[in-house]
């Protein structure tokens, strides 16, 4: 099944950027990314991601083009109650349809308004006016239901743009339908295994593995999915028998692990964070943090999972030199001689944090996140990360680049990776 993903909304096209050097204020199209992944997981092939503004003409033109190549078009956005939400009316035009009042949807809207103690105005009630030809996809998380049409062997799905609502409707209505169509038409189901790697760039990983055509058979695939925490290798197979598919996936997985070696750190739904914190729990060790340029992001990462209090004890945000000295004992002489972004200061931050917080390990991060503050010797993106334990202090310098948000995210990923490396070699 070939799928096209179409995002609708002026806000996605324009962006609403408050600060070009910060991540807040930007409208990021996370829906398209999630939809692409979800559709791939059921064995579909995503041909295209398109983004258009709230324009009737643009939507009609895009639907006409996409219908020539896609078996299913999934739209998101433009279903709200305001004048610029034009998707529903445009679909009425496209399908030569009419709007009818759906009593079930209207009753759900009234119940939702009563529950929240809010008035239900005409704009809200008009969301119960739906095309007569569509299959209504209930949306208990919001006010705009999804809609599903079929025309000339093409499935059209229209979803609200709110991520939680979109995901709910997809998981409960759309994905089961598409999965059953795929399985019925091909006689096969999709199966996947995922290998997680770290410490090796995507290109070098591809060189290690070699050309997939030499070890993959028909209906088998290998995808490289890079992120700041490493590259995920997703092995896919379409097969009619689950046990045979799993056996073959294990064969390919073992072959890849033999090629990639020690760069593999996990499988499936693992993450570098979950594997690392799992090692902390397994070894009965505790961790603390002393952060400067990441300002709490590393501590927040360690506390994402329930039960993190068993290994994460706390930390310090030492953004200023004065607090580096007062809270964790970084010497003023080191700050004056080497500067806050240095191997010496990173090491003293980690050692001091471990002593004050009485933990087995302490990680420190100090760097120049940008966009200002760099120099020829220490350009923007320079980050020092150190880990202290009872035996040693390990410090590494990284050069990430000019984007503040990315530098902070990469710093956290590298810090977790360094802790993982220490833990797997820990006696």
Can you tell me whether residue 408 is helix, strand or coil?
helix
Do 66 and 122 lie in one domain? The reply is yes
pLDDT band at 30 (very low <50, low <70, confident <90, very high): confident
75/57 Cα distance (integer angstroms): 15
Report yes or no: 157 and 72 within 8 Å, Cβ to Cβ.
yes
Q: Is the model's pLDDT at 312 over the cut of 60?
A: yes
Q: Looking at the whole model, is its pTM more than 0.85? A: no
Using the 3D structure, point to which of 133, 164, 186 is the last residue of a domain: 186
Residue pointed to by tokens 């990314």: 33
Report yes or no: 29 and 50 within 8 Å, Cβ to Cβ.
no
How many other C-beta atoms can be found within 10 angstroms of the C-beta atom of residue 313?
A: 19
Tell me the helices (H) and strands (E) count for the chain, helix number first.
16, 17
Q: Is the model's pLDDT at 26 over the cut of 50?
A: no
Mean pLDDT, range 100-129, rounded to an integer = 89
Give the CATH number of the domain where residue 356 resides: 3.90.950.20
217/419 Cα distance (integer angstroms): 38
Question: Residue 374 has what pLDDT?
Answer: 85
Pairing type for strands 154-159 and 230-239 reads unpaired
Question: Residue 24 has what pLDDT?
Answer: 39
Do 376 and 251 lie in one domain? The reply is no
pLDDT band at 117 (very low <50, low <70, confident <90, very high): confident
261: tokens are: 């070696």
Average pLDDT, the chain: 92
Phi, psi of 84 (to 5 degrees): -90, 0
* Per-residue pLDDT reduced to its tens digit, 341-363: 999 999 999 999 999 999 999 99
Do 228 and 335 lie in one domain? The reply is no
Which of 192-201, 260-269, 323-332, 368-377 has the lowest average pLDDT? 368-377
pLDDT band at 427 (very low <50, low <70, confident <90, very high): low
Q: Is the model's pLDDT at 15 over the cut of 80?
A: no
Q: Is the model's pLDDT at 18 over the cut of 70?
A: no
Using the 3D structure, point to which of 169, 186, 203 is the last residue of a domain: 186
Using the 3D structure, point to which of 267, 302, 335 is the last residue of a domain: 267
Question: Residue 27 has what pLDDT?
Answer: 59
Do 30 and 107 lie in one domain? The reply is yes
Question: Residue 82 has what pLDDT?
Answer: 83
Give the CATH number of the domain where residue 247 resides: 3.30.70.2860
Gyration radius from the chain CA atoms: 26
pLDDT band at 20 (very low <50, low <70, confident <90, very high): very low
Left if phi > 0, otherwise alpha if psi is -120 to 50, otherwise beta: which for 415?
A: alpha
Expressed as residue numbers, the domain containing 65 is 2-186
Q: How many residues does the chain have?
A: 427
Do 57 and 153 lie in one domain? The reply is yes
418/340 Cα distance (integer angstroms): 21
Question: Residue 28 has what pLDDT?
Answer: 66
Domain count, the chain: 3
Q: 222: exposed, middle or buried (C-beta count within 10 Å: 0-12, 13-18, 19+)?
A: middle
How many other C-beta atoms can be found within 10 angstroms of the C-beta atom of residue 310?
A: 11
Q: What is the DSSP string of 70-129?
A: -SEEEEES--SSSTT--HHHHHHHHTT--EEE-HHHHHHHHHHHHHHT----HHHHGGGE
342/397 Cα distance (integer angstroms): 8
Strands (E), 295-401: 312-317, 361-367, 382-388, 393-399
Do 205 and 279 lie in one domain? The reply is no
Do 331 and 412 lie in one domain? The reply is yes
Do 246 and 345 lie in one domain? The reply is no
Do 298 and 372 lie in one domain? The reply is yes
Do 284 and 160 lie in one domain? The reply is no
Which of 66-70, 139-143, 232-236, 316-320 has the lowest average pLDDT? 139-143
Q: Name 239's bridge partners.
A: 189
pLDDT band at 229 (very low <50, low <70, confident <90, very high): confident
Give the CATH number of the domain where residue 23 resides: 3.40.980.10
Higher pLDDT, 29 or 290: 290
* Per-residue pLDDT reduced to its tens digit, 130-165: 999 999 999 999 889 999 999 999 999 999 999 999
Do 170 and 204 lie in one domain? The reply is no
Do 356 and 233 lie in one domain? The reply is no
């Amino acid at each position: 099944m070939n799928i096209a993903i179409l995002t609708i909304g002026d806000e996605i096209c324009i962006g609403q950027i408050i600060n070009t050097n910060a991540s807040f204020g930007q409208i990021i199209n996370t829906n398209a990314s999630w939809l692409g992944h979800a559709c791939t997981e059921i064995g579909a092939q995503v041909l295209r991601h398109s983004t258009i503004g709230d324009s009737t003409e643009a939507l009609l033109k895009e639907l006409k083009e996409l219908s020539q190549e896609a078996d299913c078009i999934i739209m998101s956005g433009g279903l709200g109650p305001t004048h610029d939400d034009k998707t529903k009316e445009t679909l009425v035009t496209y399908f030569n349809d009419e709007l009818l009042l759906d009593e079930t949807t209207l009753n759900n809207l009234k119940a939702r308004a009563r529950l929240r103690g809010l008035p239900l105005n005409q704009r809200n009630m008009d969301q119960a006016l739906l095309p007569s030809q569509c299959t209504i996809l209930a949306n208990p998380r919001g006010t705009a239901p999804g809609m599903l049409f079929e025309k000339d062997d093409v499935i059209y799905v229209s979803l609200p743009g709110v991520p939680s609502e979109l995901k709910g409707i997809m998981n409960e209505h759309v994905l089961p339908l598409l999965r059953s169509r795929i399985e019925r038409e091909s006689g096969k189901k999709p199966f996947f295994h995922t290998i997680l790697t770290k410490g090796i760039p995507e290109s070098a990983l591809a060189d290690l593995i070699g050309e997939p055509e030499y070890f993959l058979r028909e209906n088998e695939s290998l995808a490289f999915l890079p992120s700041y925490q490493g590259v995920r290798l997703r092995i896919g197979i379409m097969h009619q028998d689950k046990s045979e598919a799993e056996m073959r996936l294990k064969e390919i997985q073992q072959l890849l692990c033999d090629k990639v070696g020690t760069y593999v750190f996990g499988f499936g739904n693992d993450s570098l964070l979950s594997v690392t914190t799992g090692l902390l729990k397994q070894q009965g060790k505790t961790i603390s943090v002393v952060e400067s340029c990441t300002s709490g992001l590393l501590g927040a990462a360690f506390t994402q999972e329930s039960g993190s209090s068993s290994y994460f004890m706390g930390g310090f945000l030492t953004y200023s030199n004065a607090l580096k000295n007062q809270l964790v004992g970084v010497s003023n002489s080191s700050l004056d001689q080497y500067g806050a972004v240095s191997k010496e200061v990173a090491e003293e931050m980690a050692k001091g944090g471990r002593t004050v917080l009485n933990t087995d390990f302490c990680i420190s991060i100090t760097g120049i996140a940008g966009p200002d503050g760099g120099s020829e010797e220490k350009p923007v993106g320079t980050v020092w990360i150190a880990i202290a334990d009872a035996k040693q202090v390990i410090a590494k310098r990284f050069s990430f680049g000019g984007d503040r948000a990315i530098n902070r995210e990469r710093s956290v990923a590298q810090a977790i990776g360094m802790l993982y490396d220490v833990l797997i070699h820990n006696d």
